[in-house]
């Protein structure tokens, strides 16, 4: 199966920050943006940020997130967004210590 657009890469947890980094692919017929949030284990949002949009690809994009609490972020959510209407195309969630982001 060929996937036309995606945001694929790594999510690195640090003591007081998180970096989401990878390849973001958009199309001339559909620009895309990556979006991410860092949260505590109980769901309090610590920070959120987006990539700049891309209408080509793949291109490297990073999303730095602050998690300035003891222990840092416990959960990160990452979304692929349709730039034209800010619609969520696909997303995933990962808890600190997991090795894969679970798609929702």
CA distance linking residue 102 with residue 104, whole number of Å: 7
pLDDT for 17-67, tens place per residue?
999 999 999 988 889 999 999 999 999 999 999 999 999 889 999 999 999
pLDDT for 76-98, tens place per residue?
999 999 999 999 999 999 999 99
- How much is the pTM? 0.91
CB 88 within 8 Å of CB 29: no
Beta bridge partners of 48: 37
Ordered by where they begin, the domains of the chain are 6-103 (2.60.40.10)
The closest of 61, 39, 58, 66 to 50, measured between CA atoms, is 61
């Amino acid at each position: 199966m060929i996937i036309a657009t995606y945001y694929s890469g790594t999510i690195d947890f640090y003591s007081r920050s998180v970096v989401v980094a990878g390849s973001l692919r958009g199309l001339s017929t559909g620009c895309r943006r990556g979006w991410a949030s860092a949260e505590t284990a109980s769901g309090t949002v610590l920070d959120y940020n987006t990539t700049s949009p891309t209408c080509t690809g793949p291109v490297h994009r990073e999303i730095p997130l602050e998690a300035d609490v003891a222990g840092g972020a416990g959960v990160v959510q990452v979304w692929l967004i349709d730039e034209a209407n800010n619609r969520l195309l696909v997303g995933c969630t990962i808890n600190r210590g997991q090795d894969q982001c679970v798609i929702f």
